[in-house]
Amino acid sequence: MSTTHHQTATTAAPAQLGIGARFSLHPHCDDFVRVILDALEEAAAGGRTDGLVLQTDEVSTYVGALEAPAEQRLTDYLAGVVAAASRHSGGGHVVAHVLLSRGCPGERTCDLTVTGLPSPEPVVVEPTGVPAVAQWSLYPLLDGGPDGGDHMVPIEAAIAAAQKRGTADGAAHYATRLTGEVAEVLATAVDAWAAVGAHVPHVVSHLTVSVGSPSLRADR
Amino acid sequence: MSTTHHQTATTAAPAQLGIGARFSLHPHCDDFVRVILDALEEAAAGGRTDGLVLQTDEVSTYVGALEAPAEQRLTDYLAGVVAAASRHSGGGHVVAHVLLSRGCPGERTCDLTVTGLPSPEPVVVEPTGVPAVAQWSLYPLLDGGPDGGDHMVPIEAAIAAAQKRGTADGAAHYATRLTGEVAEVLATAVDAWAAVGAHVPHVVSHLTVSVGSPSLRADR
């Protein structure tokens, strides 16, 4: 599994790397089915799904990035769908759970043999107007080998970057608290995940993103 | 980070290892606040939180296991709280997102120096009567060193065990589908996470557990 990813100038394509996400939307209201379907439909309109493949099942929606810039496409789509769910619920409480993954393109097995891990640019976000609070975790799935150092080093670097950005505003057991505009919160996680992915083939990140929460409103 | 965990007969205590969970409950109904509070209150009654420490914030609830049997206590509590939320929502659609973690006791840093990783017995579950479908991921945070092999090996062994148990019934990108009684689904993930934890100090698992889903009902 320790790939020789600094040897070649050829950069692996997003589809080869299995760059993508899985997310679920949880509108806390009686007409949650309408809110979810309307949000998925709105996010699918206007070219936001170009270069992505989507597949919704009974638990969540898979979003595979087929074309570069993969991270930008994923962030735009995810921020769009969460903001749309917020609007379609009338600003009610909606939680999204997001899993970001790269480096394990198979469904069950991880037969990554690509070389040339990409070093993507940070994503550029357009504000959605929806404030969010999130809990975020990052998992560099290091193995042995020359790059197989301490997995906490890239995690701590990612948290430091998020603090500098202004979105990380607290630590909790097993997660870092992020607050801000929902697109900015998602971009924080995406940029960290992509930055680790420039050195570690298989990297996963999870976020629980909350908008319109009664607790959040009480804080303001 | 490569601990020398086969050298001693002294087994680290759950609190030393940071064995615990973080979960969020998402009742898809207008009175979600009442459902969540009632479920937390019911699960806290009857001794189910003995040996656990609970802390609810605006996004999720942290459950730390202070005393053995840590895995049994966590499973009983988590199954209890999800089943209670299902009942308090009148059998409506409730999703729980669960993060299981061990081996990183700090809030932000991972200064695990313990030796003697425990090899817990599989948990024993009492049926709750609530069927569930889940998507499950397991992350052994291997580093270099003598045990720093291929992180996919323990993942594949865990999936094979879940298939044998009968809960794993399909693969999806980035996750394995589990179905069954909610306690059995949770126990599948807990047992896998604990089994990997007997060899790898830092192991995390995430599950999105869905009960009462309209899609699930349509399948039956």
Q: Which residues of B touch A212 (CB under 8 A)?
A: none
- Interface residue B161 vs chain A (CB under 8 A): no
Task: Quote the radius of gyration of chain B (alpha carbons, Å).
Answer: 17
From the CA of B65, how many Å to the nearest CA of chain A?
12
**pLDDT at residue B192, as a whole number:** 96
Q: Which residues of A touch B145 (CB under 8 A)?
A: 144
* Maximum Cα interatomic distance, chain A, rounded to a whole number of Å: 54
Residue B139 phi, psi dihedral angles, 5° rounding:
-125, 95
User: What pTM, to 2 d.p., does this model score?
Assistant: 0.92
Asked if pLDDT for residue A171 goes beyond 80, the answer is: yes
Residues pairing with B62 in the sheet: B22, B55
- Interface residue B90 vs chain A (CB under 8 A): no
d(CA B42, CA B87): 11
Contact B23, B98 (CB under 8 A): yes
**pLDDT at residue A5, as a whole number:** 40
d(CA A121, CA A72): 9
From the CA of B17, how many Å to the nearest CA of chain A?
12
Among chain B residues, the shortest Cα distance to A173 is held by B107
- Interface residue B41 vs chain A (CB under 8 A): no
**pLDDT at residue B21, as a whole number:** 97
Asked if pLDDT for residue A113 goes beyond 70, the answer is: no
- Interface residue A201 vs chain B (CB under 8 A): no
Question: What are the C-alpha distances in Å from B71 to residues A3, A10, B66?
Answer: 35, 46, 11
Share of chain A above pLDDT 90, in %: 65
**pLDDT at residue A8, as a whole number:** 44
Q: For an interface test with A, give the residue of B2, B25, B26, B93 to mutate (most A CBs within 10 A).
A: B26
Asked if pLDDT for residue A67 goes beyond 80, the answer is: yes
- From first to last of its 220 residues, what are the pLDDT tens digits of chain B? 334 434 345 788 888 889 999 999 999 999 999 999 999 999 998 788 999 999 999 999 999 999 999 999 999 999 999 999 999 999 999 999 999 999 887 665 565 555 678 888 999 999 999 999 999 999 998 776 555 578 888 888 999 999 999 999 888 899 999 999 999 999 999 999 999 998 888 899 999 999 999 875 544 3
**pLDDT at residue B7, as a whole number:** 38
